[in-house]
Amino acid sequence: MARTPPARTYRGTARNLARLAACLRAGDLVAVPTETVYGLAAHALDARACARIFRAKGRPASDPLIVHLHSVRQLGLVCLPNAAAHRLARAFWPGPLTLVLPKTPAVPAIVTSGRDSVAVRVPRHPLFRRLLRLAGVPLAAPSANPFGYISPTTAEHVRQGLGGKIRHILDGGPASIGLESTIVDLRDPSRPAVLRPGAITAEQIARVLGRRVAAPQPAAAQPGAQVAPGLLARHYSPRTPLVLHKKVPAALRGRAPANEAFLLQRQPRGAASAAHVFWLDATGDLPGVARRLFAMLRRLDAQGFVRIHAELAPDRGLGRAINDRLRRAAAR
Ligand code: TXA
Ligand code: MG
- DSSP E strand boundaries for the chain: 8-10, 30-32, 39-43, 66-68, 97-102, 117-121, 139-140, 168-170, 182-185, 193-196, 242-245, 260-266, 277-281, 307-311
Distance 143 CA to ligand 2 centre (A): 4
Q: Which domain holds residue 34?
A: 8-209
Phi/psi for 68 (5° steps) reads -100, 135
Percentages helix, strand, coil for the chain (3-state, rounded to 5) are: 35, 20, 50
Q: Which one of 209, 225, 251 terminates a domain?
A: 209
Give the position, in ligand 1's atom list, of the atom nearest the Cα of 196: 21
Residues 190 and 130 in one domain: yes
Give the position, in ligand 1's atom list, of the atom nearest the Cα of 228: 21
Q: Looking at the DSSP assignment, which residues form a beta bridge with residue 307? A: 260
Which alpha helices (H) appear in 36-148, and where do they start and end?
47-57, 75-78, 83-92, 109-112, 126-135
According to the model, what pLDDT value does residue 228 have? 62
Residue 228 lies in a domain: no
Residues 247 and 191 in one domain: no
CA–CA separation, 317 and 204 (whole Å): 9
Asked whether the whole model's pTM tops 0.85, one would answer yes
Pick from 69, 97, 98 the residue to mutate for probing ligand 1's pocket: most ligand atoms within 8 Å of its CB.
98
Q: Which residue's C-alpha comes closest to atom 10 of ligand 1?
A: 142
Residues 66 and 140 in one domain: yes
Residues 204 and 255 in one domain: no
Question: Can you give the CATH number for the domain in which 279 is found?
Answer: 3.40.50
According to the model, what pLDDT value does residue 30 have? 98
Q: How many other C-beta atoms can be found within 10 angstroms of the C-beta atom of residue 247?
A: 10
Distance 150 CA to ligand 2 centre (A): 8
Phi/psi for 116 (5° steps) reads -95, 15
pLDDT reading at 235 higher than 80: no
The neighbourhood of ligand 2, an ion, using CB within 5 A, equals: 143
Give residue-wise pLDDT tens across range 69-101: 999 999 999 999 999 999 999 999 999 999 999
Domain count, the chain: 2
Burial of 147 from C-beta contacts in 10 A (0-12 / 13-18 / 19+): middle
Q: Which one of 188, 209, 230 terminates a domain?
A: 209
Distance 182 CA to ligand 2 centre (A): 12
Mean pLDDT of 47-66: 97
Residues 144 and 259 in one domain: no
According to the model, what pLDDT value does residue 269 have? 81
- Tell me the residue type at 289: V
Pick from 66, 92, 99, 101 the residue to mutate for probing ligand 1's pocket: most ligand atoms within 8 Å of its CB.
66
Picking from 257, 258, 266, the residue whose alpha carbon sits closest to that of residue 289 is: 266
Residue 37 lies in a domain: yes
pLDDT band at 332 (very low <50, low <70, confident <90, very high): confident
Question: Can you give the CATH number for the domain in which 164 is found?
Answer: 3.90.870.10
Residue 26 lies in a domain: yes
According to the model, what pLDDT value does residue 71 have? 97
Distance 146 CA to ligand 2 centre (A): 9
Distance 119 CA to ligand 1 centre (A): 7
Give residue-wise pLDDT tens across range 175-227: 999 999 999 999 999 999 999 999 999 999 999 999 999 988 665 444 444 45
pLDDT reading at 270 higher than 90: no
Mean pLDDT of 41-54: 98
Residues 54 and 123 in one domain: yes
- Tell me the residue type at 178: G
Residues 13 and 158 in one domain: yes
Give residue-wise pLDDT tens across range 134-165: 999 999 999 999 998 999 999 999 999 999 99
Residues 99 and 160 in one domain: yes
Dihedral, CA of residue 192, residue 237, residue 129 and residue 289, to nearest 10: 80
Distance 230 CA to ligand 1 centre (A): 8
Residue 157: alpha-carbon gap to chain centroid: 13
pLDDT reading at 43 higher than 90: yes
Residues 252 and 197 in one domain: no
Residue 317 lies in a domain: yes
Q: Which residue's C-alpha comes closest to atom 31 of ligand 1?
A: 228
